[in-house]
Amino acid sequence: MERKPTKISIIGAGAVGAACAFSIATQRLCAEIVIIDVNKEKAEGEAMDISHGLITMGTMNIYSGDYSDIVDSDLIVITAGVGRKPGETRLDLANKNIAIARDVTANIMKYYNGGAIMVVSNPVDVITYLIQKESGLPIGRVFGTGTVLDSARFRYFLSTKIDADIRNIHGYTAGEHGEAQFAVWSSVHVSGMRLDSFCEKKGILLDKDEVMRETVSSGAQVIKRKGVTNYAIAAIVAELAATVLKNRRSIFSVTSLLDDYYGIGNVAISVPSFVGDEGVTGKLMYDFTQDEMENLHNTATKIRAFMDTLGI
């Protein structure tokens, strides 16, 4: 049977959307990329600019379009929305970006005929929940990048503290992509060795609170200096895109609608989940410690209460 070409549609041609398109293109993840934005000239310019570098990337069809062009997409990436300003939390963005998300969802569903939908727009937990509900798609078909970027930052800061290769450090954060996230310390190991044992044998006094402070504040620190965070999230989006297109069923701490996950439901937060060609295909019932379980429930309660105030 002839294999159909792979296709990714990106909604939003701002700094994040453009960086995502470039990262996906440089990794040669698909045969076709369409970039869609209300600013049609901006989308066209981004598509042209990336296409001019195809000599180093291989054969791809990269172009700007409208919502009708999402037909036959294997993956739809949503980056549209207002960016976070210095001093503004991700949750502060909600009122600004909910209206945009509703409009994007309505337009996607006019032409949608399959594929996973990955949400990048912030606040990603709220927007993922909204799009999942309003799209009417099966649970998990819509998922957000969640704390995958936070987990990458977490591992980076750990690597600087314990002087170890980041590729040998494994662990993640969960909950909200924002201030209410928490480190799943029970998951952290260095080349198979528990973090605490590694630090003890190396004589390292690790300040775990400091690691989390740096992890949580790092996005705001980047925004303070350059006005936007776009490169790291673009790398994460490309990694998740490859996971979807290749149906790897890899485990990532992405955000998706929970339905009785350790008693948590009707909210979208990040927990370890299996990601494949249909989005989130299942959640891993991780062996959280009692403190981690409390943090998870507290985060869910916080996000649910916030969405209640928004009428979602």
Is residue 185 within 8 Å of residue 171, measured between CB atoms?
yes
State percent of the chain over pLDDT 90: 88
Domain boundary among 124, 144, 164: 144
Would the pLDDT of 67 be above 60? yes
Count the domains in the chain: 2
**Is 249 a domain residue?**
yes
End-to-end CA distance of the chain: 44
**Is 105 a domain residue?**
yes
Same domain, residue pair 67 and 122: yes
Which among 30, 110, 124, 101 is positioned nearest to 69, based on CA atoms?
A: 110
Query: Domain holding 87: CATH number?
Result: 3.40.50.720
Would the pLDDT of 125 be above 80? yes
- Taking the model in full, what pTM does it have? 0.94
Query: Domain holding 239: CATH number?
Result: 3.90.110.10
Domain enclosing residue 43, as ranges: 7-144
Which DSSP letter does residue 55 get?
Answer: G
Same domain, residue pair 114 and 34: yes
Would the pLDDT of 190 be above 80? yes
What pLDDT, in 10s, does the model give residues 149-178? 999 999 999 999 999 999 999 999 999 998
Would the pLDDT of 85 be above 80? no
Report the pLDDT averaged over residues 178-182: 90
**Is 233 a domain residue?**
yes
What pLDDT, in 10s, does the model give residues 32-56? 999 999 999 999 999 999 999 999 9
**Is 213 a domain residue?**
yes
pLDDT of residue 84: 66
**Is 92 a domain residue?**
yes
pLDDT of residue 131: 97
Same domain, residue pair 153 and 139: no
Would the pLDDT of 2 be above 70? no
pLDDT of residue 280: 98
Would the pLDDT of 83 be above 90? no
Same domain, residue pair 47 and 61: yes
pLDDT of residue 292: 97
Which DSSP letter does residue 247 get?
Answer: T
Domain boundary among 121, 144, 167: 144
Would the pLDDT of 27 be above 90? yes
Same domain, residue pair 187 and 222: yes
Same domain, residue pair 37 and 85: yes
pLDDT of residue 1: 40
**Is 1 a domain residue?**
no
Would the pLDDT of 286 be above 70? yes
Would the pLDDT of 309 be above 90? no
The mean-pLDDT minimum among 54-58, 70-74, 257-261 falls in 54-58
| CA geometry: angle 129, 43, 222, nearest 5 deg | 60
Contact partners, residue 145, CB within 8 Å, separation at least 6:
118, 119, 120, 124, 177, 233, 236, 237, 240, 254, 255
Would the pLDDT of 88 be above 70? no
**Is 2 a domain residue?**
no
Would the pLDDT of 312 be above 50? yes
Same domain, residue pair 178 and 209: yes
Q: Give yes or no: 170 in active site.
A: no
pLDDT of residue 82: 83
Same domain, residue pair 294 and 161: yes
**Is 20 a domain residue?**
yes
Question: Which contiguous run of DSSP H or E holds residue 92?
Answer: none
Same domain, residue pair 82 and 176: no
pLDDT of residue 179: 86
